[in-house]
């Protein structure tokens, strides 16, 4: 049987495919380009072109599990994703592992509505809800760190259990391959809680220069996000940062162990391994 990896060349999917390959498990990469690193098999898949939804099942009729990564920065997600979930089930998919976000409670906009839709289906599933990615420092903040020696947020003094894409991919691998029947909602968190101030201090020590955390108001952060995201999704992101400031992610970190998937990689490990990214 075959595992379909949506976003198979992305932040978590790219790591997941390596784990599957090393384990000798059959999988198919789905990406907008229809390409993947050798020797992986790939197929064209685009969330905004429903005519591509059939492609994976035409390429491999043995697909029975799916790693489902939602469309990037899409607010009204369910109308886009639901038709594919229905198609996948009709094609014989028995288990879907869905990647959302730590604060994406069932039924909430953008992320949670998809979880609720999936949970209503008579199939096995795992919903992975990761905290903020360590890799955000190399995407969202790469320019501000290189040019201004700063990161910015509306999280105030709120603490975040930073998670690495490697740990999220491992969580996906574990839930896709476990022989037990599963219907799980997992909070995927890193091994420690850190504020943005603390993260900036750690990065300062690694780089040998001072990186500051610029504390934005929600309005200022909305303006910053709106330069790269839709207004609706920008508001989702700002609301999530305000929730961090109010202690929500620290609260999730202290949930019972049965609800948590705790990663191994610390934020400092990521900074040390990738320090050249922020070199001026």
Residue from 236, 237, 230, 194 nearest 213 by CA? 194
pLDDT tens column, 94-105: 999 999 999 999
The CATH code of the domain that includes 76 is 3.40.50.720
Q: Strand pairing partners for 43?
A: 30
Query: Number of folded domains in the chain?
Result: 1
Instruction: Indicate whether 242 belongs to any domain.
Output: no
Q: What is the residue range of 52's domain?
A: 2-133+162-189
- Residue 168, Cβ density class (10 Å: 0-12 exposed, 13-18 middle, ≥19 buried): buried
Per the prediction, the chain carries an average pLDDT of 96
pLDDT band at 280 (very low <50, low <70, confident <90, very high): confident
The phi, psi pair for 185, rounded to 5°, reads: -120, 105
Query: Does the pLDDT of residue 46 top 80, yes or no?
Result: yes
pLDDT value of residue 230: 86
- Residue 130 and residue 161: Cα distance in Å, rounded? 9
Instruction: Indicate whether 212 belongs to any domain.
Output: no
Instruction: Indicate whether 62 belongs to any domain.
Output: yes
Query: Does the pLDDT of residue 266 top 90, yes or no?
Result: yes
The phi, psi pair for 82, rounded to 5°, reads: -55, -45
Instruction: Indicate whether 231 belongs to any domain.
Output: no
Model confidence pTM above 0.85 = yes
Instruction: Indicate whether 16 belongs to any domain.
Output: yes
Instruction: Indicate whether 204 belongs to any domain.
Output: no
Q: Percent of the chain scored above 70 by pLDDT?
A: 100
Of 7-11, 176-180, 244-248, the least confident: 7-11
pLDDT band at 233 (very low <50, low <70, confident <90, very high): confident
Instruction: Indicate whether 263 belongs to any domain.
Output: no
The phi, psi pair for 213, rounded to 5°, reads: -100, 110
Instruction: Indicate whether 221 belongs to any domain.
Output: no
């Amino acid at each position: 049987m075959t595992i379909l990896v949506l976003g198979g060349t992305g932040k978590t999917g790219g790591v997941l495919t390596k784990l599957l390959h090393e384990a000798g498990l059959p999988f198919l990469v789905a990406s907008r380009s229809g390409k993947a690193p050798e020797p992986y098999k790939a197929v064209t898949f685009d969330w905004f072109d429903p005519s591509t939804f059939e492609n994976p099942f035409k390429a491999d009729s043995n697909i029975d599990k799916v790693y489902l990564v939602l469309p990037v920065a899409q607010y009204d997600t369910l109308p886009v994703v639901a038709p594919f979930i229905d198609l996948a089930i009709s094609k014989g998919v028995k288990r879907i592992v869905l990647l959302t976000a730590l604060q994406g409670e069932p039924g909430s906009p953008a992320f949670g509505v998809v979880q609720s839709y999936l949970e209503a289906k008579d199939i096995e599933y795992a919903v992975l809800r990761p905290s903020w990615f360590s890799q955000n420092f190399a995407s969202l903040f790469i320019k501000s760190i290189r040019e201004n020696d700063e990161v910015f947020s509306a999280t105030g003094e709120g603490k975040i259990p930073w998670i690495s894409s490697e740990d999220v991919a491992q969580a996906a691998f574990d839930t896709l391959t476990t022989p037990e029947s599963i219907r799980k909602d997992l909070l995927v968190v890193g091994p420690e809680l850190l504020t943005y101030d603390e993260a900036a201090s750690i990065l300062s020590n690694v780089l040998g220069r001072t990186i500051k955390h610029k504390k934005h108001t929600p309005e200022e952060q909305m303006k910053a996000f709106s330069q790269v995201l839709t207004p609706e999704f920008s508001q989702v992101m700002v609301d999530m940062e305000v929730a961090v400031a109010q202690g929500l992610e620290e609260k999730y970190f202290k949930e019972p162990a049965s609800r948590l998937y705790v990663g191994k990689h610390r934020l400092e490990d990521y900074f040390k391994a990738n320090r050249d990214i922020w070199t001026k």
